[in-house]
Amino acid sequence: MRKKRDLLTLKDLTVDEIFEIMSLAKQFKRFPFFKKRALRNKTLALLFQKPSNRTRVSFEVAMTHLGGYALYLSPQEIAMGARESVKDVACVISRYVDGIVARVFSHNDLSIFSRYADIPVINGLSDLAHPCQALSDIFTIKEKFGVLKGVKLTYVGDGNNVANSLLITGVMAGLNVSIATPKGYEIPVEVLEEAKEHSKISGSIIEILNEPEKAMQDADVVYTDVWISMGDEHEKEERLKAFSGFQINETLMSYAKKYAFIMHCLPAHRGEEISDVIDGKNSIVYDQAENRMHVQKAVLYKLLR
């Protein structure tokens, strides 16, 4: 019996596997029902502690296109960690289905869940990482430029789960990555150290700054995310003050290359982390959103067969 494969963070993939997933995603995007029977009679559980639009719909459709079935378990239905222990949920659900996408508040819960689940576990989002989002983002950039080596990606905003995964994936794939956050909201040290190790192999340049204008210099792609994530609502006033000057708008975009693409993983709060430039001709946010489905189809194909 083949040992199960998880995707909790990008540590679970090699560089070759990242490019393999992107190659598969390209085929799935061109031919939606390519491998349409690959996961026939397979069931995927979507176990969510947080509500979702793109993650839920993209995984459900991806599973259907591959011939399988997706079962959604809402936050109210399971209440993992409250109504029932993480261990018990993992052990029981593993008896029913062939794979699990877990969207959780705590990455520690996800790690415990993976330890006790004997089927593949995919991180649909945790407070540490959002690997499926980052893989889709890198795929989108490659789709636009044809290459990744030498392309500069600038992320401006909170050093959160999206930024963590984007930095790791980008550097592994050969992008130059510049990240600007307010002081106190930087990328975790352990994530940065991991990225630096990958950069020694890929040759990528990493910049970690607190000045968005410097980070935006010569950017080919500009990326941002919400300043106030689910669970951080009590910090709203403090965060809005700290992130003043970090909004992606026409002024900041003037420091980037003239035709720099704008990316956002959505949902977007117009008037906070980004202005109406998100609706301009350089915005590719809806391409990003669509590509979640194609990339996740490739992930499912790789892990659940």
Residues designated catalytic = 103, 130, 133, 225, 265, 292
Beta bridge partners of 239: none
Annotated binding site for carbamoyl phosphate: 103, 130-133, 265-266, 292
Q: Which amino acid is at 99?
A: G
Which residues make Cβ contacts (< 8 Å) with residue 105, sequence separation at least 6? 49, 50, 126, 127, 230, 231
Q: Residue 83: count other Cβ atoms within 10 Å of its Cβ.
A: 11
97 with 90: CB under 8 angstroms?
no
Measure the CA–CA gap between 212 and 209, rounded to whole angstroms.
7
Burial class for 52, CB neighbours closer than 10 Å (0-12, 13-18, 19+): middle
131 with 105: CB under 8 angstroms?
no
Annotated binding site for L-ornithine: 161, 225, 229-230
Closest by Cα among 299, 97, 54, 286 to 278: 286
Burial class for 87, CB neighbours closer than 10 Å (0-12, 13-18, 19+): middle
Return the ∠ at Cα 7 (arms to 175 and 292), rounded to 5°: 60
- Quick check: helix, strand or coil at residue 209? strand
Closest by Cα among 170, 176, 192, 230 to 50: 230
Annotated binding site: 103, 130-133, 161, 225, 229-230, 265-266, 292
Q: Residue 301: count other Cβ atoms within 10 Å of its Cβ.
A: 20
Which residues make Cβ contacts (< 8 Å) with residue 281, sequence separation at least 6? none
Scan for tokens 């011939």, then name that residue.
67
